[in-house]
């Protein structure tokens, strides 16, 4: 590493190529157009190129790479969900995460921390047991632990939560992890770029042309493109894209906010989530406490922050960790979460031929980035659903066949 750095000091020119190839104009046609250069869109491009030999792809991004929810999330990675569909899907994602850094030759700062879902009520403890049993059945490492175990692992915690909401136990998920979010988008983006995929930033999709129920092309602020396949991976902007193709969906958009504290010495090496207090917290490798809470309470298509959010979050944080009262908040921000009524995503084919959806990832889609890329690439390449996503299709609502992941995803993480 020092030698590599020395090259930069000695060379008159920048000794390394750019991370992404710039493209001055759009071609008139691509085999596949992907809307959205977040982790999901770029991962799909990467696996289409790497595993399916499809490289004539344009990824269109209205802002910059990873500037959407990918770059705004609190990076919790786990697979302790509640439904068999969910557990199988997220567990495959967790497996894919393990060798991504090597795959990309890029450090993703993937850090295995262990993940606690704290139970403050009998009902919450019951859900923890249920989740643990579903998880174990599918070979996922989860167990219910008592309050003393929590205290041993996190000595700074006030188990009584200032007397308001005593912790009775927790669901402990040893594989829980965090990772560097931007690097995930960059890694997938560079991998796709090296295989011939074109990534166009500052390129907004303004319309989608559909004829006789089939996708024909897209209209952008930099010109029109013809294509037979469009993958929409735009998170909080999904309803706007669906309006372009006249599709209705159960998606609704609420902001989700997060914040970080000033950096402090390492004292928390696990991830803690409390549904009752509506908070979650981990400590980043820079020492900042990364904190989040529940969704904002009403629909809004904007990434504004509010003062109510840090106020409420800090109050609950102090219930659990009174010693944090002197620590300052550094930054806060928001993303637009695309929510579904059953807290499961909407993935796969749609009534429009050649129009594929990867949406409904709300507050929980970062961890799923690798498996979404992989399964959506398969689905787009074969025009046939990957077996892992058949429980997540848009038509499940018409069939009243919801997936019911709420118990495991109701706090944003």
Partner 1 sequence: MKIMTCPINGPRPVSEFVYGGSVRDMPDPHTCSDDEWAAYVFNRGGAPGVKREWWCHTASNTWFIAERDTEQDRVLRTYLHGEEG
Ligand X SMILES: Cc1cc2nc3c(=O)[nH]c(=O)nc-3n(C[C@H](O)[C@H](O)[C@H](O)COP(=O)(O)OP(=O)(O)OC[C@H]3O[C@@H](n4cnc5c(N)ncnc54)[C@H](O)[C@@H]3O)c2cc1C
Q: Which residues bind ligand X (CB under 6 A)?
A: 35-41, 60-63, 67-70, 72-76, 204-205, 233-235, 237, 256, 258, 292, 335, 337, 361, 363-367, 412-413
41 contacts 34 by C-beta, under 8 angstroms: yes
Task: Give the Cα-Cα-Cα angle 238, 241, 246 (nearest 5 degrees).
Answer: 115
Burial tier of 296 (Cβ tally within 10 Å: 0-12, 13-18, 19+): buried
Contact with partner 1 (CB under 8 A): which of 310, 397, 404, 410?
397
Contact with partner 1 (CB under 8 A): which of 44, 251, 334, 380?
251
What sign does the CA torsion over 127, 128, 133, 136 have?
A: positive
Nearer to ligand X, 159 or 329 (CB): 329
Q: Taking the CB of residue 8, how many other CB atoms lie within 10 A of it?
A: 10
Burial tier of 24 (Cβ tally within 10 Å: 0-12, 13-18, 19+): exposed
Task: State the nearest-atom distance from the C-beta of 397 to partner 1, in Å.
Answer: 4
| Options 35-43, 137-145, 301-309, 365-373: segment touching partner 1 (CB under 8 A) | 301-309
Cα distance between residue 66 and residue 20, in whole Å: 13
Q: Which partner from the list ligand X, partner 1, none does 249 bind, CB cut-off 5 to 8 Å by kind?
A: partner 1
Nearer to ligand X, 73 or 127 (CB): 73
Query: Burial code of 173-198, b = ≥16 C-beta within 10 A, e = fewer?
Result: bbbbbbbbbebbbbbbbbbbbebebb
Task: State the nearest-atom distance from the C-beta of 298 to partner 1, in Å.
Answer: 4
- Eight-class DSSP state of 126: H
Contact with partner 1 (CB under 8 A): which of 109, 130, 149, 252?
252
218 contacts 33 by C-beta, under 8 angstroms: yes
Phi, psi of 143, deg, nearest 5:
-150, 155
Cα distance between residue 140 and residue 158, in whole Å: 29
Q: Which partner from the list partner 1, ligand X, none does 68 bind, CB cut-off 5 to 8 Å by kind?
A: ligand X
Residue 337 interacts with partner 1 (CB under 8 A)? no
Contact with partner 1 (CB under 8 A): which of 297, 325, 326, 328?
297
Nearer to ligand X, 39 or 187 (CB): 39
Name the strand (E) or helix (H) holding 146. strand 143-146
Task: State the nearest-atom distance from the C-beta of 412 to partner 1, in Å.
Answer: 17
Residue 17 interacts with partner 1 (CB under 8 A)? no
Which residues have C-beta within 8 Å of that of residue 135, sequence separation ≥ 6? Answer: 79, 80, 81, 87, 141, 142, 173
Q: Which partner from the list partner 1, ligand X, none does 41 bind, CB cut-off 5 to 8 Å by kind?
A: ligand X
Contact with partner 1 (CB under 8 A): which of 29, 243, 331, 382?
243
Cα distances from 111 to residues 25, 51, 73, 290, 308, in angstroms, run: 39, 27, 16, 14, 31
Contact with partner 1 (CB under 8 A): which of 86, 191, 239, 391?
239
Residue 333 interacts with partner 1 (CB under 8 A)? no
Cα distance between residue 11 and residue 13, in whole Å: 5
- What residues between 171 and 190 interact with partner 1 by CB under 8 A? none
Task: State the nearest-atom distance from the C-beta of 351 to partner 1, in Å.
Answer: 12
Nearer to partner 1, 15 or 341 (CB): 341
Q: Which partner from the list ligand X, partner 1, none does 251 bind, CB cut-off 5 to 8 Å by kind?
A: partner 1
Task: State the nearest-atom distance from the C-beta of 229 to ligand X, in Å.
Answer: 16
Task: State the nearest-atom distance from the C-beta of 361 to partner 1, in Å.
Answer: 14
Cα distances from 118 to residues 121, 188, 189, 290, in angstroms, run: 9, 34, 36, 17
| Options 84-92, 163-171, 373-381, 397-405: segment touching partner 1 (CB under 8 A) | 397-405
116 contacts 132 by C-beta, under 8 angstroms: no
> What residues make contact with partner 1 under the rule CB under 8 A?
238-240, 242-243, 248-253, 297-302, 304, 308, 338, 341, 397-400
């Amino acid at each position: 590493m020092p030698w590599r750095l020395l090259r930069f000091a000695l060379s008159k020119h920048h000794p390394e190529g750019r991370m992404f190839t710039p493209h001055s104009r759009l071609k008139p046609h691509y085999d596949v157009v992907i809307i959205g250069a977040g982790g999901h869109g770029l991962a799909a491009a990467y696996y289409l190129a790497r595993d399916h030999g499809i490289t004539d792809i344009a990824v269109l991004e209205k802002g910059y790479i990873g500037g959407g929810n990918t770059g705004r999330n609190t990076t919790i990675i786990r697979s302790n969900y509640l439904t068999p569909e969910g557990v199988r899907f997220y567990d495959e994602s967790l497996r894919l995460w393990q060798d991504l850094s090597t795959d990309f030759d890029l450090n993703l700062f993937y850090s295995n921390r262990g993940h606690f879902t704290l139970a403050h009520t009998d009902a919450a403890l019951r859900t923890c047991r249920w989740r643990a049993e579903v998880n174990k059945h599918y070979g996922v490492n989860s167990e219910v632990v008592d309050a003393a175990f929590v205290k041993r692992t996190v000595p700074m915690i006030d188990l009584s939560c200032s007397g308001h909401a005593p912790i009775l136990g927790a669901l402990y998920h040893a594989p829980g992890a965090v990772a560097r979010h931007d690097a995930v988008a960059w890694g997938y983006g560079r991998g796709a770029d090296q295989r011939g995929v074109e990534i166009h930033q500052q390129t907004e999709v303004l319309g989608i042309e559909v004829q006789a129920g089939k996708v024909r092309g897209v209209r952008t602020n930099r010109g029109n493109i013809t294509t037979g396949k469009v993958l929409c991976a735009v998170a909080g902007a999904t309803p706007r894209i669906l309006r372009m193709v006249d599709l209705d969906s159960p998606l609704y958009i609420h902001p989700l906010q997060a914040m970080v504290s000033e950096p402090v010495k390492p004292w928390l090496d696990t991830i803690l989530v409390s549904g009752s207090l509506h908070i979650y917290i981990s400590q980043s490798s820079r020492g900042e406490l990364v904190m989040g809470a529940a969704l904002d309470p009403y629909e809004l298509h904007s990434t504004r922050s509010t003062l109510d959010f840090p106020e409420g979050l800090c109050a609950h944080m102090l219930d659990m960790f009174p010693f944090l009262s002197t620590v300052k908040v550094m930054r806060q921000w928001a993303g637009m979460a695309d929510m579904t009524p059953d807290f499961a995503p909407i993935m796969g084919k749609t009534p429009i031929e050649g129009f594929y959806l990867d949406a409904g990832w709300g507050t929980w889609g970062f961890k799923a980035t690798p498996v979404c890329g992989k399964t959506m690439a398969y689905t787009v390449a074969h025009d046939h659903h990957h077996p892992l996503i058949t429980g997540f299709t848009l038509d499940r609502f018409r069939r009243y066949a919801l997936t019911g992941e709420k118990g495991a995803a109701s706090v944003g993480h």
